[in-house]
Amino acid sequence: DTAVSQTPKYLVTQMGNDKSIKCEQNLGHDTMYWYKQDSKKFLKIMFSYNNKELIINETVPNRFSPKSPDKAHLNLHINSLELGDSAVYFCASSHGVNYGYTFGSGTRLTVV
């Protein structure tokens, strides 16, 4: 199936831990994104990579570090997790500025 896939789907962890979320797309898109959906369901961009290069870095704590080993993968590593990091994190990809987005199914992160 052609898609954007994220793992894990659910992640429950304690404060202070470090965790990673992985994303892969097999759509041949050249741009990938991380979005955060907060408790009020509002979606906001965090990062974007185009052909493995960081092009968008919104005001995100530096505990969040994206990594793109190739244009089909974009991972998100979070250090020293805090309660406020609890949210749903969505990965997405797009072919270019005139194309739409395809989203993954999300990773629900709960920090306890």
Asked if residues 91 and 74 have their Cβ atoms less than 8 Å apart, the reply is: yes
Cα angle 19-77-28, degrees, rounded to a multiple of 5: 125
Query: Are the C-beta atoms of 11 and 89 separated by less than 8 Å?
Result: no
86 is a contact residue toward another protein (CB under 8 A)? no
Shortest Å, Cβ 62 to another protein: 20
Closer residue to another protein in complex, CB, 82/86: 86
Site residues for another protein, 6-45, by CB under 8 A, read 31, 33, 35, 40-45
Would you give the end-to-end CA distance of the chain in angstroms? 35
94 and 31 Cβ atoms separated by less than 8 Å: yes
Task: Pick the closer one to another protein by CB: 35 or 85.
Answer: 35
The binding site for another protein (CB under 8 A) comprises 31, 33, 35, 40-45, 48, 50, 55-56, 90, 92, 94, 96-106, 108
